[in-house]
Amino acid sequence: MNDNETHTGITILLHDDYDLLSFSAPLPRRVLNIQIEHKLLKVQYNVIALYNYQLRTLINDKMIQLTTAIKSVTHPTFKNILTGDFNFVESAHDRASSRTTYDLAASRVWQEEMAGTDFIDAFREKNPKRKMWSFISSRKTGSRIDRLYVDEDTVPQVIKYRHIPVPFPVAHRVLSFSITHNIPKGPSYWKMNTSILSDRAYRQEKIY
């Protein structure tokens, strides 16, 4: 790791419905891994957050280093969530202009190295052609280099996916999303209409 990389880091904000089970950094300043559990439902998630290199040189080496770290903490039974700043786009719909040579090269290595995993771009799976930007460059061109990947079974549960603007002119927007759960319903109840108590005939009935 280059000690001159002073602008690398990852922040994850969690809803208080979840307990933090574990934390690790398989690739410091680049890949962060936490395991969480829903307090009520006891559903467990394995969250992997990344901040990819700015891919200009050594694309193969850096991408393999990154994907190796990701795969090393992918959980066999927890629901896996992968998110962060990828610094490249896979889809032509994720960049206002044409995809760059770096996009194409990084996508190729990414797809080769991540083959066999169950990660799916949740937004793109639900919105095949919709355009939404997570980053606006100094040239005022948009891209969705910040993305969310989840297990195939979790895709339908991802809702409220959005990129929240920040007050800085050139900065990444905050990627926010929610995951729905099928919360089991308890027994129903009957609410008595108290107006029937004013009915003399009803009051004279025997209630067993």
| Residue 116 structure tokens | 């066999």
Domains of the chain by residue range: 18-204
Give me the mean pLDDT over the 185-196 stretch: 73
Q: Dihedral of CA 53/56/57/63: which sign?
A: positive
For 185: left if phi > 0, alpha if psi spans -120 to 50, otherwise beta; the answer is beta
Give me the mean pLDDT over the 69-82 stretch: 97
pLDDT of residue 51: 93
What are the pLDDT digits (tens) for 196-206? 777 777 667 65
* This prediction's pTM: 0.83
**CATH code for residues 18-204:** 3.60.10.10
Q: Dihedral of CA 77/149/105/60: which sign?
A: negative
Dihedrals φ, ψ of 14, to 5°?
A: -115, 145
What are the pLDDT digits (tens) for 149-188? 999 999 999 999 999 999 987 889 999 999 998 766 667 7
Nearest Cα to Cα of residue 144 among 80, 82, 63, 90: 90
Distance CA 28, CA 71 (A): 15
User: Average pLDDT over the chain, rounded to whole?
Assistant: 88
For 150, what's the count of Cα atoms within 13 Å in the CB-facing half-sphere?
A: 20
Distant-in-sequence, close-in-space partners of 39: CB < 8 Å, separation ≥ 6: 17, 18, 19
Give me the mean pLDDT over the 39-66 stretch: 89
Reply yes or no on whether the pLDDT at 2 is more than 80: no
Rounded-to-5 percentages of helix, strand, coil across the chain: 25, 30, 45
Reply yes or no on whether the pLDDT at 3 is more than 60: no
Give me the mean pLDDT over the 43-55 stretch: 91
pLDDT of residue 197: 73
pLDDT band for 189, please (50, 70, 90 cuts). confident
pLDDT band for 27, please (50, 70, 90 cuts). very high
